[in-house]
Structure 1
Amino acid sequence: MSQLSAWDHPEPLALDTAPLPEYGTGSLADLLPTLAAGMGVPGLTATIEELTPADRVCVFLVDGLGWEQLRAHPDEAPFLTSLLGSSRGGTGRPLTAGYPATTATSLASVGTGLPPGAHGLPGYTVRNPATGELMNQLRWHPWTPPRPWQPYPTVFQLAHEAGVHAAQVSSPAFENTPLTKVALSGGTFRGRLSGEERMDLAAEQLAAADRSLVYTYYAELDGSGHRYGIASDTWRGQLMYVDRLAQRLAEQLPPRSALYVTADHGMVDIPFDEQHRIDFDEDWELRAGVALLGGEGRARHVYAVPGARNDVLTVWREVLGEQFWVASRDEAIAAGWFGPQVDERVYPRIGDVVAAAHDDVLLIASEREPKESSLVGNHGSMTPAEQLVPLLEVRS
């Protein structure tokens, strides 16, 4: 049961206090359209005004590298830290990930140039309206036809059609995944196992044509944060490695190139105690009227049984409202959590109730989600530690 009974809870957090992602001006969804528009790809608009066009562009996305975490570790990342200012010919600023700040959602925003309400991957797990089951959009389980789920072309596809050399350089394991197909496909996929090989090949792909758009990716920083936390030596060691990879790529840029280092989300460590980890599976108040619990610990989609939606919203606000922003589906959409508009096909994927963590707290489900409930580092919500990701630039 919750730490406090429903009638003992103070006034819930006002929804207008949630720091919304900067859709349309400074979110991950704005990055590739801005870069590709600068290369002359039709149908795209440059909305991040300070980015200067370049003939050859590489985006290096480091999974889990939050802006706040990077700024807190200058000794482990001297090269990336140098890009926070104006040295080395680069500039640094934060972007917002989008809501929720989670990998599947963010990668789809990066690759399609669309906010979650349009591309349709609005969470870690969401209900599939066709089957009534929860679908894990990172692992794509249960399997769902990819193209109807996300029908829009990627920026890489648009660039390829416009005569730009488009390439993705990542782990070979990602080449044929549904998430890659709907979010990051277009042009050529090049699989390489080691980070060094990816950096070297990304530089080669940049030089392969007069106009090139290249994407490369590194995942292990995120994995270390989840397993050991961002305060761990393991995480700091991974950050040191990422820093060397970024410098290695920057030093190989061909002429007329721009490198952008960014991320999909930040991360927060959550203590292992009942005050910070509320267990849905052991809380009868929160379970009442709930058919499915989706999302993840800091960004929940709650699907009510028929007729119970208003009751679930009321109880969740009373029980969690001091620590979470708790909204109905329509309130979250109207507030712009998922972008300026939500497509009709995406609307029923969003929970009847949406809960985004404000404090250092996690809503776990120890029986339903034992692996996710055991993670040290977590993300998903709209706090700066999760939302803000770096946009660091190097030009040649």
Structure 2
Amino acid sequence: MTFMLPSPQKGGPSLADVLPSCLASLDVPGFENRLGLRKVTSAIIVIVDGLGAQNITAAKAHARFLAPALTKASTISTVFPSTTAAALPSFTTGKLPGQHGMVGYRVRDPASGAVVNQLTGLDLIQSVDPWLVEPPLYARARASGVRPVVIAKSRFSGTPLTRLIHEGTDSVAAASIEERCQSALSIVSQSRSLVVLYISELDEIAHAQGVNSHAWASKLEEVDSELSHLSRGIPRNVSLIVTADHGVVDIGKHAHVSFGETPESLFGISAIGGEPRCLQLYLDNGVEANAVAASWQDALQDAAYVVTRDEMIQTGWLGDVAAPVINRLGDVFVLARKDVVFFDARDPTNKARKMVGHHGGISAAEIKIPFLQLN
């Protein structure tokens, strides 16, 4: 039995439209203002990692500033895979993953054959082609007299990922959310600026304890309060936008689905990338992708959508796929169709098994994100 992979919403606004629209609102030439932002002299874009639209709605009692601003009109889509390593490059380049090339959490480098964690291991890439196929848009902002600044925790400063996707920005480190908001306000008050303020805390708690935990709700209240305070302090000629890279779903251990219990079930597979909600299977040379996909679909039944690389490209979830990107994609994709996650039985110590909150798939909870204009 096969299960038809749903098509993405075609033509709707996405995370890839946020920065181009913001640059257009700042009078940086060459960008389309698809999101209809008002003209301003400076802008603050807050990216709250892991704060999906459905997460806000479910916890609206803890988001008394953000939740009333969330409507159908202020809800957009993130990209696929719905994971930080693919979504943040889409934000900074204005392109979908098939175009910019960072197509998942763990991706095979065609040059070495190694599966690389794109959040922490980009320095291991051996490919001679630029790994980020499309350049970040910040240089064009600076060329027009707009200072691009990224504010985040110090641990993100100077990492290979930060250097790659935020090339052309000034970096400001601030430990607390309050300090980050204060830094953003100070910068836009002093110069014509584009500030990207990154809040990672909610995603970190979601992975460890879940979006239904007291700790997550408490941190959401802090985020909500600090953003409310920020909105009251910024000048009229500065825009404040809040968005996210993906949403999160809580998955209990009872919904952990194992694969690879026997060597026969892994026949023809040389490596496995992606993440627990969206596996990417890389096959040995000469192995037929259709046969592997059919075998995995039979094994997983209605828990998964299993499609070949060609089928995935045809759906449009990745956008137009550039030639240098094709071989980075798995030969077979295994996407969660239900609230489940997939784990390799050969690796019982995988730290992701301890996680409660997950993302990476195509459910509305993961894909739908806020786009809130808050002043």
Equivalent residue, structure 2, for 1:133: 114
Letter in 1 for 2:60: P
Which SS does the other structure have where 1:356 is aligned? strand
Match of 1:58 among 44, 50, 61: 44
Equivalent residue, structure 1, for 2:328: 349
Q: 1:52 to 1:358 in 2, by over 3 A?
A: farther
Equivalent residue, structure 2, for 1:303: 282
Equivalent residue, structure 2, for 1:234: 215
Equivalent residue, structure 1, for 2:312: 332
Contact 2:111 2:126 in 1 (8 A): no
Contact 1:300 1:355 in 2 (8 A): yes
- Following superposition, the deviation at residue 140 of structure 1 comes to 2.1
Equivalent residue, structure 1, for 2:144: 162
Residues 328-353 of structure 1, C-alpha deviations (whole Å, 9 max, x = no match): 111111111111x1111111011000
Q: 1:285 to 1:249 in 2, by over 3 A?
A: farther
Which SS does the other structure have where 1:282 is aligned? coil
Equivalent residue, structure 2, for 1:80: 66
* Of 199-208 and 136-145, the range deviating more from structure 2: 136-145
Distance 1:388 1:53 in 2: 26
Equivalent residue, structure 1, for 2:33: 46
Equivalent residue, structure 1, for 2:8: 20
Equivalent residue, structure 2, for 1:385: 365
Contact 1:167 1:188 in 2 (8 A): yes
Letter in 1 for 2:174: R
Q: How many residues align?
A: 372
**Over aligned residue pairs, what C-alpha RMSD do you find?**
1.9
- Following superposition, the deviation at residue 373 of structure 1 comes to 2.2
Find out whether 1:277 has 2:256 as its counterpart.
yes
Which SS does the other structure have where 2:81 is aligned? coil
Which SS does the other structure have where 2:190 is aligned? coil
Normalising by structure 1, we get a TM-score of: 0.89
Which SS does the other structure have where 1:315 is aligned? helix
Letter in 2 for 1:371: K
Which SS does the other structure have where 2:187 is aligned? helix
- Following superposition, the deviation at residue 248 of structure 1 comes to 2.2
Match of 1:122 among 82, 103, 106: 103
Match of 1:372 among 352, 363, 370: 352
Find out whether 1:175 has 2:150 as its counterpart.
no
Distance 1:165 1:310 in 2: 49
Which SS does the other structure have where 1:95 is aligned? strand
Q: 1:53 to 1:358 in 2, by over 3 A?
A: farther
Q: 1:346 to 1:71 in 2, by over 3 A?
A: same
Contact 1:228 1:377 in 2 (8 A): yes
Distance 1:132 1:12 in 2: 30
Equivalent residue, structure 2, for 1:195: 177
Percent of aligned pairs with the same amino acid: 35
Distance 1:363 1:201 in 2: 41
Contact 1:112 1:154 in 2 (8 A): yes
Which SS does the other structure have where 1:319 is aligned? helix
Which SS does the other structure have where 1:291 is aligned? strand
* Of 75-84 and 128-137, the range deviating more from structure 2: 75-84
Letter in 1 for 2:163: K
Q: 1:231 to 1:28 in 2, by over 3 A?
A: same
- Following superposition, the deviation at residue 366 of structure 1 comes to 4.9
Equivalent residue, structure 1, for 2:297: 317
- Following superposition, the deviation at residue 42 of structure 1 comes to 2.4
Distance 1:277 1:139 in 2: 25
Distance 2:310 2:34 in 1: 27
Q: 1:238 to 1:92 in 2, by over 3 A?
A: farther
- Following superposition, the deviation at residue 205 of structure 1 comes to 1.3
Letter in 2 for 1:114: K
Equivalent residue, structure 2, for 1:359: 338
Distance 1:123 1:303 in 2: 13
Find out whether 1:268 has 2:249 as its counterpart.
yes
Distance 2:27 2:123 in 1: 39
Equivalent residue, structure 1, for 2:266: 287
Letter in 1 for 2:62: E
Gaps of 5+ in 1: 1-10, 86-90
Residues 132-171 of structure 1, C-alpha deviations (whole Å, 9 max, x = no match): 0101111125622698111432122221122112111111
Contact 2:278 2:334 in 1 (8 A): yes
- Following superposition, the deviation at residue 195 of structure 1 comes to 1.0
Which SS does the other structure have where 2:295 is aligned? helix
Distance 2:265 2:146 in 1: 51
Gaps of 5+ in 2: none
Normalising by structure 2, we get a TM-score of: 0.94
Which SS does the other structure have where 2:324 is aligned? coil
Find out whether 1:257 has 2:243 as its counterpart.
no
Contact 1:83 1:92 in 2 (8 A): no
Distance 1:84 1:187 in 2: 30
Distance 1:137 1:196 in 2: 29
Equivalent residue, structure 2, for 1:3: none
- Following superposition, the deviation at residue 47 of structure 1 comes to 2.2
Which SS does the other structure have where 1:52 is aligned? coil
Match of 1:221 among 192, 202, 218: 202
Letter in 1 for 2:47: L
Contact 2:99 2:133 in 1 (8 A): no
Q: 1:199 to 1:326 in 2, by over 3 A?
A: same
